[in-house]
Chain A
């Protein structure tokens, strides 16, 4: 099946710094990718839709200037958490839909801001 690779799998950063998370579709092209955030013992909440070659679409309540999304190619989307704070600590997961509607997920990135 389709493979989505996410990197890094975990990262610890200092408050105020920025962190970049990469999401790659390894064996298919993804014009659209989705970024989710998951807090402990909660479900996945959609943050934004990443569109190749155009601006990302953010869900209500998600700060676009804080969570920068770049989808420069058909196989790579990046999420940059800028000026990270402890409350940004979470599990970030990307997904890419394939033909037929199914979505494949990356392994997730555990972000801890100290």
Chain B
């Protein structure tokens, strides 16, 4: 079936540097995408979302980029901090279907 996957399973970043986490999706009908942050033993926490009619959306220190041509999604975190260390999941939704999650990328921030 359709799936959402990530290019990199782990990412180590120096504190203060920018982080980029990538995600590939395969369902061309997906029209809504969300990035979640999950800390150990906790449920996913919403970071930022984007709809398919947009290609970029910015939040506080985070930016999501959507390239529908190649079905690619990325999350950029500016000035990465130790508190950003977690597993990040992209998720997609087509219409009213449940969210489908990617495999996750573990971000490790080196102080």
Give chain A's interface residues, CB within 8 Å of chain B. 1, 6, 34, 36, 42-46, 49, 91, 93, 95, 97, 101-108, 110
Check if B43 sits within 8 Å of A105, measured CB to CB: yes
**Complex formed: what's the CA distance from A74 to B34 in Å?**
25
Contact A43 B99, CB 8 Å, known A6-B43, A105-B44 = no
Check if B41 sits within 8 Å of A95, measured CB to CB: no
Check if A102 sits within 8 Å of B43, measured CB to CB: no
Residue in A6, A95, A103 whose Cβ sees the most chain B Cβ within 10 Å: A103
Check if A93 sits within 8 Å of B43, measured CB to CB: yes
Q: How many residues of B contact A (CB 8 A)?
A: 20
**Complex formed: what's the CA distance from A95 to B49 in Å?**
16
Interface residue SS majority, chain A? strand
Other-chain residue from B32, B99, B103 in contact with A95 (beta carbon distance below 8 A) = B99
Give chain B's interface residues, CB within 8 Å of chain A. 32, 34, 36, 41-46, 49, 89, 93, 96, 98-104
Other-chain residue from B43, B49, B99, B101 in contact with A106 (beta carbon distance below 8 A) = B43
Contact A34 B101, CB 8 Å, known A44-B89, A102-B34, A108-B41 = no
User: What 9 A-B pairs are tightest by C-beta distance, nearest first?
Assistant: A105-B43, A108-B43, A44-B101, A43-B101, A101-B32, A105-B44, A107-B43, A34-B98, A43-B103
Check if A49 sits within 8 Å of B98, measured CB to CB: yes
**A36 contacts which chain B residues (CB < 8 A)?**
101
